[in-house]
Amino acid sequence: MTQPTLLWFRRDLRLADNPALAAAVAEGGPVIPLFVLDEARDVRTPGAAGRWWLDKSLRALTAALAAKGSRLILRRGPAAEVVRALAEEVGAGAVVWNRLYDPGVVERDKGLKASLRGAKSCNGSLLLEPWAVKTRAGEPFKVFTPFWRAARTLVEAGDAAPSPSRLPAPEHWPASDDLDAWSLHPTAPDWSGGFDWRPGEAAALAVLDRFVDGALSDYARGRDRPAEQGSSRLSPYLHWGEVGPRQVWRAVMAAVERGAASEDQAEKFLAELGWREFNHQLLFHHPDLGRANYKPAFDALPWRDAPEPLEAWKRGRTGYPIVDAGMRQLWATGWMHNRVRMVAASFLVKHLLIDWREGERWFWDTLVDADEANNIMNWQWVAGTGADASPFFRIFNPTAQAEKFDPDGAYVRRWAPEVGTTDYPAPIVEHGFARRRALEALKGVRGGPEGRTAVAPKLSGP
């Protein structure tokens, strides 16, 4: 019998439009699907909310593979060791996977590919490879608008690759872990009772269809209204690869063709896919950005060690209704509306002068869509420390933001219903004072994006 091909699923948990799956089938022999719960020390593991999602997504993928006459083999441990061992165990003639670009993964995968027979990797998670879009000088872009202008002309969505009707099975299946033994679902306590998500490929396609036939037509306005269903809610499905960016691209363009949305609305949304691409290429070229400011001058910013205000922020007890509503939505559902994410993140960094890395870690643990590139670069954008970032001196007024984007208070009432009663806390910091303190702190940042300041100002106040 033809040697089997090992198909290594990672964050591409779908059967349709999956380049690695298509490549595995093209090998012509049995296909052995594998998922590894990677426990390598140099690779960032999912946070608690991400583990919740992964549990449900793997169950959906297992069922989808069973319907194709196949199985999903589960193993845990350092991925490189696990993949090598299983390839040898089953006598694989080829090992195929879709590429990831996270810190620690790229070099690991290069070494793995060099050590395996018939190893092949594909791009199943981005519209373009992170090295594909460069300036005329041959350098990665640092500013989004010219990046997207250049990238937009290179995108080729191509034709949809349907899910195969059957997957050829091996004569003997290797042993698999029991998913329940991985304990990805929370217990003692189970804090996921409010999660209103249905992970998996089928759900992803349903969410995509609902968006392009509905909210896409008013996306430019609706995306900023947290009380409305104006955003796509595709972010966790894209992160876990239950739907691919090319599938989303084709669906959006098809909606324009049939008159369900205008070109302007579609381009506004496609630019969000572009921002995702921009973030991934930034982290690919600067893999230390989870630890370091993109602009080193901000190393001189005097962040505060303030455990009590940090905890108040995490729990939605800051006394600022729009911030608290967002943080409670996050805790209850594993997701927060994007406009409110910006307001809540700005509050932590600028009102409380707490290091953006503290917020990034909290979001990593609590967001079902926690994507390393997006999470890191969006936090650096808010903090003013990143590429093409919002300036640090641009400080959101949470009250004004609520008046503009939640004018009738529906979002706040939904997530912080005790606002206006004696049960609601007083603000933990006054806005005017916080703004002055943040601007005073900024005085310690000198020398431009590449400069550094050795001495930071001393700050006082709560």
- Which position among 338, 362, 397, 440 bears the catalytic label? 338
Catalytic residue flag (residue 356): yes
Q: Are 122 and 98 in contact (CB under 8 A)?
A: yes
Catalytic residue flag (residue 362): no
- Which position among 275, 313, 381, 415 bears the catalytic label? 275
Q: CA–CA separation, 367 vs 338, rounded Å?
A: 12
Give the closest residue to 352 by CA, choosing from 226, 459, 444.
459
Longest Cα pair distance anywhere in the chain, in angstroms?
74
- Residue in the block written with tokens 């061992």: 85
Could you tell me if residue 318 is left (phi over 0), alpha (psi between -120 and 50 degrees) or otherwise beta? alpha
Report DSSP state, residue 42.
T
Q: CA–CA separation, 291 vs 356, rounded Å?
A: 10
Catalytic residue flag (residue 364): no
- Which position among 129, 228, 267, 272 bears the catalytic label? 272
238-263 b/e (C-beta count within 10 Å ≥ 16 → b): bbbbbbbbbbbbbbbeebbeeebbbe
Catalytic residue flag (residue 338): yes
- Which position among 97, 197, 240, 303 bears the catalytic label? 303
- Which position among 53, 97, 197, 379 bears the catalytic label? 379
DSSP string, 184-249: -S--SS-TTTT-----SHHHHHHHHHHHHTTGGGGHHHHTT-TTSS-S---HHHHHTTSS-HHHHH
For the annotated catalytic residues, the residue numbers are 272, 275, 303, 338, 356, 379
